[in-house]
Amino acid sequence: MKLIDSHGRRINYLRLSVTDRCNLRCSYCMPAEGIPSLQHGDMLSYEELHRVASEAVSLGIEKIRITGGEPLVRKGLIGFIERLASIPGLKELVLTTNGILLREMALPLRRAGVQRLNISLDSLNPTTFAAITRGGNLGKVLDGIAAAGEAGFPPVKINMVVMRGVNDHELLDFASLTLDNPYTVRFIEYMPTLLDTDWNSRSLEGREILERIGAHYPLLPLVSAEMAGPSRNFKIGGAAGAIGIITPISGHFCESCNRIRVTASGLVKGCLFANEAVDLKPYLRNTENGDLREIMRRIVMEKPGRHHLAEEDSGHGTVAMSRIGG
């Protein structure tokens, strides 16, 4: 079955957040004190998350990314992933993590059926990393990346959010990681956040990121695979890995957007930046009449054609990333 929205886009990718909690406090994502925890009953149970995932796959979703908050902090995750992996028709099951708990979790995740890992890493300098994440230990993430390889995962994708004056001096360090390692390092434009009123001065356009890397390392364009997402990929000549650039702001990829999102509290969203969301809990818990599949189909149909973030006075808000899952 194919899920086509009203703009003719095929929707086959669900980002499923399993928690809004996190063991880090990245300055652009969470306030220093963390966020007020969802009450137990406000969070979807694994049973409910599984039902959402199964219905989504039966509607035409082929790829699920587990995200958070930090997905690895939710207890019982491995059993949940085993059940997800056995949903008939699901072609790709992948996960995004900050890597802090990956040394312990890589092998169980692999055995449970996760096919690939994306790891968020914004600095290779322990002090800068600790400053961005408010106390995170870089060594644990690097060890987690090594553990992913040992557990038999394909080379990881490393996602770096680039912020002027914070970590942009590390662009070449990140690019050079790909020389000897088969990783894909992806540079992501910093998106507006409620937590950073100075977002504009810290954001860097993808074009500038590419120019700065390209001035040092000539970049060869690569062709992207289907379901590869919005990254434009390149390779430094002779490198083991690849470089990607993701430009949600300057070169928004809305016309080819294939995703919907479900938050840990059961809100389904057609667009990261849209204010509209539908709460699936009443339909999951039968406190409201209505068919879960129909509600999800409606969200796909109402998915906006594009976001308007780059336009002044767009009226569109910032996002609480830890709640939505990036």
Report, in Å, the least distance between residue 32 CB and ligand SAM.
Answer: 15
Among the residue ranges 31-39, 49-57, 61-69, 223-231, the one whose residues contact ligand SAM (CB under 6 A): 61-69
Sheet holding 278-279, edge to edge: 219-221, 232-236, 242-246, 184-189, 157-162, 116-120, 92-97, 63-67, 13-17, 259-262, 267-269, 278-279
Report, in Å, the least distance between residue 122 CB and ligand SF4.
Answer: 9
Give the CA count within 13 Å in the CB-facing half-sphere of 30.
23
> Cα(107)–Cα(114) distance, rounded to whole angstroms?
10
Q: Does 203 bind ligand SAM (CB under 6 A)?
A: no
Q: Does 29 bind ligand SAM (CB under 6 A)?
A: yes
Q: Does 283 bind ligand SAM (CB under 6 A)?
A: no
Residues 6+ apart with CB under 8 A from 174: 124, 158, 160, 185, 187
Q: Which does 142 bind (CB under 5 to 8 A by kind): ligand SF4, ligand SAM, none?
A: none
**One symbol per residue from 60 to 79: x for binding ligand SF4 (CB under 6 A), - otherwise; what is it?**
--------xxx---------
Question: Minimal CA–CA distance to 87: which of 14, 165, 30, 18?
Answer: 14
Q: Does 120 bind ligand SAM (CB under 6 A)?
A: yes
Q: Does 189 bind ligand SF4 (CB under 6 A)?
A: no
Q: Could you tell me the two tokens for 58?
A: 């039966």
Residue 74 CA: distances (Å) to CA of 94, 263, 264 = 16, 14, 11
Report, in Å, the least distance between residue 321 CB and ligand SF4.
Answer: 6
Instruction: Name which of residues 16 to 55 contact ligand SF4 (CB under 6 A).
Output: 22, 24-26, 29-30
Residue showing tokens 């963390």: 34
Among 11, 68, 186, 269, binds ligand SAM (CB under 6 A): 68
Angle at 229 between CA 82 and CA 6, to 5 degrees: 100
Nearer to ligand SF4, 12 or 19 (CB): 19
Q: Which does 67 bind (CB under 5 to 8 A by kind): ligand SAM, ligand SF4, none?
A: ligand SAM
Residue number of the CB atom closest to ligand SAM: 326
> Cα(42)–Cα(269) distance, rounded to whole angstroms?
17
User: What are the φ/ψ torsions at residue 323 (nearest 5 degrees)?
Assistant: -80, -35
Report, in Å, the least distance between residue 28 CB and ligand SAM.
Answer: 4
Give contact residues for ligand SAM (rule: CB under 6 A): 22, 28-29, 67-70, 96-98, 120, 159, 161, 188, 190-191, 193, 321-322, 325-326
